Structure 1
Amino acid sequence: MDNPTALIVDDEPDIRELLELTLQRMDIDTVTAADLGQARNALATRNFQLCLADMRLPDGDGIDLVREIHEEHPGTPVAMITAHGNMETAIQALKAGAFDFVSKPVDLSVLRNLVVTALKLQEPGKQQICEDDQEDSQCPLRGASAAMDKVRSLISKLARSQAPVHITGESGTGKELAARLIHQLGPRNDNPFVAVNCGAIPHELMESELFGYKKGAFTGAVADKTGLFVEANGGTLFLDEVADLPLSMQVKLLRVIQEKMVRPVGATEELPINVRIISATHQNLAQRVQEEAFRQDLYYRLNVIELHMPSLRERPEDIPGLTQHLLENIASNYQQPVPELQPAALDALQHHPFPGNVRELENILERAFALCDDGIITLDDLGMLDLSVSPETGKAGQARLPGENLEDYLARIEKDILLEALEETGGNKTSAASRLGISFRSFRYRLGKLGIAGKDDEK
């Protein structure tokens, strides 16, 4: 089998020679170019499995070359060589379609990791999964709607990049599922996918959880502990509910992203890391920046490319297919026949607002499966309120008021759910949050957003 070939584009002879020697020792053939013109000529005459390009060239900008290769040679990953510490330039390159970047002076271990990861994109694998919606497909993201077609298409593209991705969407829309799929379809899929819920870790433990610690670093540190960044080395670290990070931790995370190094608590030396970061939150991160609750510089580092997961309300045409798929999974788990769903029950599902999205749909069907008789799920089995009841009931599942817009309607439903949970727990916010399956911080944020004052929790 022929060696892969890389195109090296840099106007500094010493840098070209260093890159050539490094790649040739990895059994990679090289072609060099000193400017954009020479690079374009080389691209016109042969195919390359990788391109390393300097940001600043005598006859133009390296980002222009990134865009050209991205459009005309989409199978060739391009890594940019940027000035040290110039993250703004690196982010521009990633947004333009660069696979990754490496800073000058070039760290050869970082370069080798980058090259190995890039060449894995050329290997036959699962990259085509999820390009199209097929009900018998291996793709876990179901739905034939245009919204889901767009999501699957973008995920396939994101899997070929190392750019940080920020996934937005309401709770229950499948943000972690999307993150896992980006990892599985990408060149890091042989390495770990590590997920962490930032809202579930106490603030005082967050640094030691993410970065690890050395024995004796603090009381109770009886042995070294590996942090989640190191656990994810070579793979992907998924930071869920990243908006819940305290400001002190945001500063440290920013430095890790920029330097690609972590320092365990109590350690004297930093450890190099090779991790792709995918973050997610159901909150409006841009608004959190305006409220000075989230650092703007970290926001720009994390939100290089945004992936929005649509709510179930935005794709009601997917509910029948999703319902059937979930029922098949539930029946398989219990080793029982797949139940039949009565038309009235399906109609109710299609008109339900689903504030909990796909997760709520799954919970409703799990309950219905357990309660149904003779393998037939009726409207009563769903345990949902009659959607035709009067708005004056003041309960979730109520009809939309005349002239009421969607945001106000959903806010009213959410408020009812929160108040009901508080009532059932005697006003204890921690218990109410647990009952709804969300973090305490998220519950408190929702209360504040909707102007609800709950009782203080007992100490």
Structure 2
Amino acid sequence: MFPTILIIDDEPMILQSLSGLLSDEGFEVLTATNGYEGLKLIETESPDLVLLDIWMPGIDGIETLKEIKKSNPFIQVIIITGHGNVETAVRATKLGAFDMIEKPLSIDKVIVDISNALNFRRLEEENRYLRKKTIEKHAIDGHSPAISELKQQIAVVAPTGSWVLITGENGAGKELVARNIHQFSPRAEQPLIDINCAAIPDERLESELFGHEKGAVPWSENRKRGRFEMADRGTLLLDEICDMSLSTQAKLLRVLQEQKFQRVGGGRTIRINVRVIAATNRDIEAEIEKGNFREDLYYRLNEIPITVPALRNRREDIPVLAKVFLAKRAGQYGGPAKQFTAEALEMLGAYSWPGNVRELKNLINRLVLMIDRDSIGVDDIPAPCNPGAGGGEPEPIVEKLLSAADLNGARAAFEAEFIRRRLAEHGNDPEKAARVMGMSPEDLLRKLGASGGDSAHHRR
């Protein structure tokens, strides 16, 4: 299907000559002798591009351009003028014109401009499609009052440019909230750069944030841009901000206040324009009381606080989330999506989900792989979600400790329960849980196995 071009010009000779030339080039051509007629044709025919004369009786080209962009912002418009001047060109460009061509017209110039404008329109359509897919991918699923309130907060905060501090338990969806804020902000076309402050050794964190010059650090021979530079004009997500040392916090605070910094080992000042979103699973005010987090940095980051609800506080969303995760897995592996029975969904809704949405997703991914049937029932659900499967919810830790025969037994019971809970908090991911506890995943599983826990259950 050939692109359709609308020519709006009050000179019959221009309409006739341009129509013939563009038709010979393979375009579908529409013509209008004034702005009113042109706007009606745009409404009924939806052309791909408009060639618009600037000087016409009635409403002139500038006013016509305004009306076109008001109701059809994605139609490309090229201005034609015999009285071109810089002021007119600037005004037309600000109103959304792709380019301006002066009379007498050069057909080569006209064809090149039309080709460029149509290519630009195609790229815009591709970008809109990709952005739509990105928004769908990172959608926050659920209709509970807690999630509805969260979505409303995001809708209000995202366009403002304010800095945001997101709190919530591990696995609740803090990163997803950050991505939604970015996607619905004026910075959506720019990058969202994230850094997990807990995953990077403190001696390297400054370099990761601000970059370094060649030879300035022992672990790299090359110059490196930091996350702040990468996020310029976009958004920087500082995840697990409470795991940052006090010395790095002090340097971060200065950069946040001044919006400028120098790379490690560098002398050049780099200015940035970055929106900052910070996230933590800790009680940040308690960390301030303990002396682990700077109060001034907290107030700098906490322009808008958002708390992500735990899954146990939005249990009515579990069927929705389960359906979404099952459908995504079906899309990855092909074939129809599996379904939970009503009884199985009721059991999932009764579980406390200490690992939150991440734990639910991990469980569903495993069930899709392990269960051959299209329907997943109660008997398919493992412990601890299924108390009847063995290894269910543990007895209260105090009772377990006091029932131990000796101090070593109590210590072992506490260690096993501590490991089990950390695993659950991190979606039953031994690598993440072990990193938080300062041990290797192998040691974690070995200790859990030695204590009588189902270590195999926690393997991914």
Shorter-chain TM band: 0.5 to 0.7
Partner Cα distance (1:249, 1:139) in 2: 31
Partner of 2:4: none
Does residue 208 in structure 1 map to residue 214 in structure 2?
A: no
CA displacement, residues 207-241 of structure 1 (integer Å, 9 cap, x when unaligned): 11110011122335422110010011110000100
Partner of 1:345: 344
Partner of 2:124: none
Partner of 1:172: 171
Of 219-228 and 196-205, more deviation after overlay is shown by 219-228
Q: TM-score, normalization: structure 1? A: 0.59
CA RMSD of aligned residues (A): 3.8
Contact 2:197/2:240 (8 A) holds in 1: yes
Figure out how many residues of one structure are paired with residues of the other and give that number: 302
Give 2:393's aligned amino acid.
G
Partner Cα distance (2:140, 2:327) in 1: 15
Percentage of matched positions with identical amino acids = 36
Q: Which runs of 5+ in 2 are unaligned?
A: 1-64, 68-89, 93-127, 398-412, 440-460
Partner Cα distance (1:316, 1:221) in 2: 47
Partner of 1:315: 314
The 1:396/1:243 distance shift into structure 2, 3 A limit, reads farther
Partner Cα distance (1:377, 1:203) in 2: 45
CA displacement, residues 230-285 of structure 1 (integer Å, 9 cap, x when unaligned): 01111000010000000000000000000000210011121001110000010011
Partner Cα distance (1:222, 1:398) in 2: 51
The 1:139/1:227 distance shift into structure 2, 3 A limit, reads closer
Partner of 1:192: 191
SS in 2 for 1:160: helix
Displacement of 1:137 in angstroms is 6.9
Does residue 333 in structure 1 map to residue 329 in structure 2?
A: no
Contact 1:244/1:441 (8 A) holds in 2: no
Displacement of 1:139 in angstroms is 6.4
Displacement of 1:415 in angstroms is 7.6
Partner of 1:143: 142
Partner Cα distance (1:316, 1:399) in 2: 23
Contact 1:367/1:382 (8 A) holds in 2: no
Partner Cα distance (2:164, 2:367) in 1: 36
Give 2:435's aligned amino acid.
F
The 1:436/1:317 distance shift into structure 2, 3 A limit, reads farther
Partner of 1:264: 263
Contact 1:214/1:221 (8 A) holds in 2: no
Q: Which runs of structure 2 are paired with 1:38-437 in the superposition (5 Å)?
A: 140-385=139-384, 387-388=386-387, 397-398=393-394, 418-420=418-420, 435=430, 437=432
Give 2:419's aligned amino acid.
L
Give 2:156's aligned amino acid.
K
The 1:439/1:208 distance shift into structure 2, 3 A limit, reads farther
SS in 2 for 1:195: strand
CA displacement, residues 369-411 of structure 1 (integer Å, 9 cap, x when unaligned): 1121321212232222365569xx8x5535889xxxxxxxxxx
The 1:225/1:145 distance shift into structure 2, 3 A limit, reads same
Displacement of 1:433 in angstroms is 9.6
Displacement of 1:158 in angstroms is 1.1
CA displacement, residues 134-188 of structure 1 (integer Å, 9 cap, x when unaligned): xx97761011111001100110111111111000100111110110110011100
Displacement of 1:196 in angstroms is 0.7
Partner Cα distance (1:349, 1:443) in 2: 31
SS in 2 for 1:349: helix
Partner of 2:120: none
Displacement of 1:346 in angstroms is 1.1
SS in 1 for 2:236: strand
Partner of 1:115: none
Contact 2:312/2:353 (8 A) holds in 1: yes
Partner Cα distance (2:311, 2:362) in 1: 14
Contact 1:387/1:399 (8 A) holds in 2: no
Contact 2:378/2:386 (8 A) holds in 1: no
The 1:163/1:27 distance shift into structure 2, 3 A limit, reads farther
Partner Cα distance (1:300, 1:396) in 2: 42
The 1:216/1:27 distance shift into structure 2, 3 A limit, reads farther
Contact 1:355/1:414 (8 A) holds in 2: no
Contact 1:396/1:417 (8 A) holds in 2: no
SS in 1 for 2:159: coil
Which has more helix, going by share of residues? 2
Contact 2:348/2:385 (8 A) holds in 1: no
CA displacement, residues 69-122 of structure 1 (integer Å, 9 cap, x when unaligned): xxxxxxxxxxxxxxxxxxxxxxxxxxxxxxxxxxxxxxxxxxxxxxxxxxxxxx
Partner Cα distance (1:433, 1:345) in 2: 20
Partner Cα distance (1:443, 1:378) in 2: 37
Partner Cα distance (1:225, 1:209) in 2: 8
Partner Cα distance (2:215, 2:384) in 1: 56
Give 1:353's aligned amino acid.
S
Partner Cα distance (2:269, 2:319) in 1: 52
CA displacement, residues 330-370 of structure 1 (integer Å, 9 cap, x when unaligned): 11111121112122211110111101111100111111111
Contact 2:323/2:339 (8 A) holds in 1: no
Q: TM-score, normalization: structure 2? A: 0.59
SS in 2 for 1:271: strand
